[in-house]
């Protein structure tokens, strides 16, 4: 699509660009650096580089822990840069494929081979990518703007292609190799997961209804987000992060096969209910995922109930651009038995009665959605708003302190961070050891030690990967923390295994809740 590119790009060009972006003072300069890099890429390098500068290998998680990466720390770096982008990608693919007996030794050998070929600058970049310290996802907006500039395409059209492809690297490859025509060819297809639309938050129900002219209210469920695809008898179920979880939910597959539509994509949540039909805790529902060996026993002991709240595709037609009112009509037509409880255009009294009913049944609150809104990825103002009974934030764990007394031997006091999208980092919001059960303490100690980066006295600093939902009473000024704010009476509600660090609340969300700023979108 562009006239000149390096026949085989040296990896150091990617590293130098990433460093230039990190030190660039403004968004436009960052975009310019990335755009210059992308213009020089060969077609088969695009997905690799776009993934790396966004913060992770295109292969995803490579199964490397602190121990494996510690073994290559201190290796003598190469004097001159010789590694190519293709070599790094091949090595990451080899690492991703390692499994079975002797896998630790094989990973160590592959890592050593890679790091011995890398210069000091390249080793540092590789280490940060593999540790997750480039804040995967946080740079995606800048990267996509740069792809659009390099390809000469509309940024809005590129973002839409990302939504439908479910993969930013695939959309970037299409844009850079085929321009807008290639982007237009990316469409909603059954069995190709679509990026989920996200919600903002409202302080209370009246505030939410004031922001939406014609609203639908739904129960706000505390379950696992799923996207269900059906093509004839074939059914696949994807998680919020677009992972295939079909094997974990056989009852949802059976239920979906019985629906009348031949081609269908539904958006919704699955949740484990008690005999009283009250929702069971989120962690209980999540026991059903990631375990396939005993899925039959789990299905019997812990059945899941589907609540579908959107219909994205039916009988060959995409509904993404249709208003929610049309999508609701289609959902009620093809799957009325599994549709989430909902009321359309409620009066003030009806809205509050509906919200009380949701709380009485044990749910978190309600969702308020604009009936005129299309389905779109990301935070879209007041189109979808969560109204919860209590205020919570999704934060990332930056570090933890070894406990004492009854908690001796466990990592207890958590250092909590909010995402700062302006400089690709996290802002510490305070600490908490409250709300942690013995089971949670044991689990988080194991998981945090697996992500250990360095220890400073009793403080264990970790890769910012674990997301925790924190309830709090209020937000206060604080000169102790860099963001100038801290959470009063913060307590852990649960860990969010369905979210990544890129999904956490931003410091702007916290400021908005504190009344410092207005107009910031958030996704709590």
What is the tens place of the pLDDT at every residue in 168-205?
A: 999 999 999 999 999 989 989 999 999 899 888 887 89
pLDDT of 522 higher than 50: no
pLDDT over 50 (residue 519) = no
pLDDT at 381: 60
Confidence of residue 133 (pLDDT cuts 50, 70, 90): low
pLDDT of residue 166: 84
Asked whether the beta carbons of 401 and 413 are under 8 A apart, the reply is: yes
Tens digits of residue pLDDT in 228-280 = 999 999 999 999 988 899 999 999 999 999 999 999 999 999 999 988 888 98
- Token pair, residue 37, equals 């890099």
Q: How confident is the model at residue 311 (pLDDT cuts 50, 70, 90)?
A: very high
**Residue 518: pLDDT above 60?**
no
pLDDT band of residue 292 (cuts 50, 70, 90) is: low
pLDDT tens digits, one per residue of 431-484: 999 999 999 999 999 999 999 999 999 999 999 999 999 988 778 888 888 888
Element (H, E) at 305: strand 304-314
Alpha-carbon separation of residue 399 from 6, 65, 326, 491 (angstroms): 42, 16, 46, 16
User: Taking 60 as the threshold, does the pLDDT of residue 137 lie above it?
Assistant: no
Q: Is the per-residue pLDDT at 295 higher than 90?
A: no
- CB environment 287-312: b (16+ within 10 A), e (fewer): ebbeeeeebeebeeeeebbbbbbbbb
Q: Is 505:393 a contact under the CB 8 Å cutoff?
A: yes
Active site residue 220: yes
Task: Report residue 82 as tokens.
Answer: 């010789």
Residue 198 in contact with residue 384, Cβ under 8 Å? yes
Q: For residue 64, how many C-alpha atoms fall within 13 Å in the half-sphere facing its CB?
A: 33
Domains defined for the chain, CATH in brackets:
11-184 (1.10.3260.10), 200-388 (3.30.470.30), 392-513 (2.40.50.140)
346 vs 342: CA distance, rounded Å: 10
- Mean pLDDT on 86-105: 90
Q: Which two tokens stand for residue 470?
A: 């924190």
Residues 6+ apart with CB under 8 A from 224: 239, 240, 269, 270, 271, 282, 285, 286, 288, 289, 498
Look at strands 304-314 and 234-239 and give their pairing. Answer: unpaired
* pLDDT mean across residues, the chain: 89
Tell me what percent of the residues of the chain surpass a pLDDT of 70. 93
Residue 376 pLDDT grade (very low, low, confident, very high; cuts 50, 70, 90):
confident
Specify the pLDDT at position 105.
87
How would residue 130 be classed by pLDDT, with cut points 50, 70 and 90?
Answer: confident
- For 9, 37, 46, the CA distances from 5, given in Å and listed in that order, are 8, 10, 11
| pLDDT (mean) for 85-96 | 94
pLDDT at 424: 74
Comparing 33-37, 155-159, 460-464, the range with the smallest average pLDDT is: 155-159
Rounded to whole angstroms, the Cα distance separating 147 from 50 reads 9
Within 152-204, where are the H helices? 155-165, 168-184
Place of tokens 């790396």: 52
DSSP labels, 429-482: EEEE-TT--HHHHHHHHHHHHTTEEEEETTEEEE-TT-EEEEE-SEEEE-SSST
Catalytically annotated residue among 220, 388, 452, 493: 220
Whole-Å CA distances, 477 to 156, 337, 418, 482, 488: 38, 48, 15, 11, 10
- Judge residue 65's burial from the number of C-beta atoms within 10 Å of its C-beta, 0-12 exposed, 13-18 middle, 19 or more buried: middle
pLDDT of residue 190: 95
What is the predicted pLDDT for the residue at 141?
85
In 3D space, the residue among 376, 386, 358 whose CA is nearest the CA of residue 509 turns out to be 386
Confidence tier at 135 by pLDDT (50, 70, 90): low
């Amino acid at each position: 699509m562009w006239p000149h590119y390096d026949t085989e790009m040296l990896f150091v060009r990617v590293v130098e660009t990433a460093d230039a972006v990190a030190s660039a003072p403004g968004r436009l300069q960052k975009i310019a650096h990335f755009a210059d890099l992308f213009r020089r890429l060969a077609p088969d390098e695009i997905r690799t580089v776009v993934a790396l500068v966004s913060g992770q290998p295109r292969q995803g998680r490579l199964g490397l822990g602190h121990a494996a990466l510690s073994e290559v720390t201190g290796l003598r770096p190469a004097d001159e840069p010789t590694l190519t982008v293709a070599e790094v990608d091949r090595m990451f693919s080899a690492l991703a494929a390692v499994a079975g007996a002797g896998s630790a030794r094989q990973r160590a050998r592959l890592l050593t081979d890679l790091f011995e070929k890398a210069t000091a600058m390249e080793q540092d970049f590789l280490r940060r990518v593999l540790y997750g310290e480039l804040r995967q996802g946080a740079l995606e907006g800048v990267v996509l703007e740069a792809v659009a500039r390099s390809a000469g395409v509309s940024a809005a059209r590129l973002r839409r292609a990302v939504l439908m492809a479910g993969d930013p690297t695939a959309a970037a490859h299409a844009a850079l190799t085929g321009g807008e025509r290639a982007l237009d060819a990316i469409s909603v297809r059954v069995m190709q997961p679509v990026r989920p639309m996200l919600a903002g938050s409202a302080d209370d129900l009246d505030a939410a209804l004031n922001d939406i002219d014609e609203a639908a209210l739904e129960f706000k469920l505390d379950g696992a987000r799923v996207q269900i695809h059906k093509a004839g008898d074939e059914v696949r179920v994807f998680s919020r992060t677009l992972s295939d979880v079909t094997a974990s939910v056989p009852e949802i597959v059976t239920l979906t096969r019985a629906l009348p539509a031949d081609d269908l994509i539904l958006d919704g949540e699955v949740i484990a209910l008690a005999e009283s039909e009250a929702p069971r805790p989120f962690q209980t529902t999540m026991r059903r995922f990631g375990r396939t060996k005993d899925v039959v026993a789990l299905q019997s002991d812990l059945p899941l109930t589907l609540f579908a709240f959107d219909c994205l595709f039916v009988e060959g037609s995409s509904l993404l651009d249709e208003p929610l009112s049309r999508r609701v009509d289609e959902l009620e037509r093809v799957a009325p038995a599994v549709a989430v409880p909902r009321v359309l255009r409620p009066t003030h009294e009806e809205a509050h009665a509906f919200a009380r009913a949701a709380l009485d049944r044990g749910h978190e609150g309600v969702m308020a959605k604009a009936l005129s809104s299309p389905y779109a990825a990301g935070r879209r103002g007041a189109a979808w708003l969560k109204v919860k009974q209590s205020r919570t934030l999704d934060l990332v764990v930056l570090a933890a302190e070894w406990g004492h007394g009854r908690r001796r031997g466990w990592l207890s006091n958590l250092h909590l961070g909010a995402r700062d999208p302006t400089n690709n980092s996290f802002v510490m919001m305070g600490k908490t050891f409250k709300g942690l059960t013995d089971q949670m303490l044991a689990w988080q100690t194991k998981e945090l030690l697996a992500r250990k980066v360095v220890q400073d006295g009793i403080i264990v600093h970790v890769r910012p990967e674990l997301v925790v939902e924190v309830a709090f009473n209020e937000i206060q000024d604080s000169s102790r923390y860099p963001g100038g704010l801290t959470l009063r009476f913060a307590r852990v509600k649960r860990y969010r295994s369905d979210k990544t660090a890129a999904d956490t609340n931003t410091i702007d969300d916290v400021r908005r809740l504190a009344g410092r700023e207005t107009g910031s979108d958030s996704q709590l």
